[in-house]
Structure 1
């Protein structure tokens, strides 16, 4: 897994229907998994009749040579919950793998 800096970020993200829209890429970050998927995370503010809604955009790109994508717009609370679950599962995976893995 590698990380990518802001200069490597896509200039847009896609909504669930695959339509691109502007994202705040200056604060975006991404990791590239061992299988080549780029997972980009960026702040997102969606305007609506009820006012702007703060979201965290999670954009999982396709595997090497693939076309599948996944996208999610999480509330800040949901993003924190996902972060907690990821950290918890990473610790469990390391325990299962044992020392030196």
Structure 2
């Protein structure tokens, strides 16, 4: 079975960038990509921890930084034979649907 690589971007307040890459179980369809796109906040933003994904940031987080990560559904997903990290495509899509219109952008996030 094919799996799906998902890549998303954190851009800090100084415009430095760090990419995160996860492997989802299963193949993502165009319909699922469209659903995820529809759930993103303005400017293709989302908060990975709220859909069960890791958040990679630089060590020195300051007041210029924030909770948002960038996801570009047209280029974020690629097919792979690599082993999945645990989350399925269907689970991810369901989690995005739950967050649609209700992303918690409280910053900094409480531990």
| TM-score normalized with structure 1 length | 0.34
Whose relative contact order is higher, 1 or 2, with alpha carbons under 8 Å and at least 6 apart?
2
Larger gyration radius, structure 1 or structure 2: 1
More strand by share: 1
| TM-score normalized with structure 2 length | 0.31
